[in-house]
Amino acid sequence: MTLKEELAHEMEATRRDFHHLLDSVPEALYHHPSDNPAWTVGEVLFHMSLAPRLLTADLRIIIGQSWIARIMGALIPKSLFDRLNESLTRRWANRNMTREKLGRAYDNAHNTAMRALRKLDEDDFGKSLAYPDYDELLTGVVTVERLYRYISTHFKVHAEQIRRSIGEAQ
């Protein structure tokens, strides 16, 4: 199996896991606080779609526009990044708080990430860039391969937060 096939398989498994999680969360709990104090359960569910959704922008930065990352790291402190992440997630999520819309948001993001994966050459996976310390799961030197694996890692962390939250609510 090639690395591209392995990553596609991992992403598809994560997409299926997202839908299983989504099916397990009653819509009545979407407005319940999550164990992330910034967001509700529904907002975390929507936030999970951001890793595959933003992947193509990250790819452009790693593969050909690394100057953007240097500027971001110099001009945008972590506190501002966190506030932007929180407010954008909240704004987008509040328009997508049904099971169908959340599922569609994730699937659209997944499909975009898969299209980008198909366009990559095998030598692209080793390309890397030093990322600012915005996200403890995606900091330091980030390769294209690690960027794709982040989709699954990001999902797993937030899925556990949701499971804890809904377990406490039931």
Global confidence as pTM:
0.85
CA atoms within 13 A on the CB side of 118: 6
How far, in Å, CA of 77 to CA of 14, rounded?
A: 30
Give the start-to-end residue ranges of the domains of the chain.
3-169
| Distance from the Cα of residue 88 to its chain's centroid | 13
The per-residue pLDDT for 78 is 64
Q: What are phi and psi of 99, to 5 degrees?
A: -55, -45
Q: Which CATH class is domain 3-169?
A: mainly alpha
pLDDT of the chain along its 170 residues, tens only? 999 999 999 999 999 999 999 999 999 999 898 888 778 899 999 989 989 988 998 898 888 766 666 666 666 666 766 677 677 766 666 666 799 999 999 999 999 999 999 999 999 999 998 877 777 777 788 899 999 999 999 999 999 999 998 886 55
How far, in Å, CA of 37 to CA of 149, rounded?
A: 26
The per-residue pLDDT for 129 is 84
The per-residue pLDDT for 115 is 97
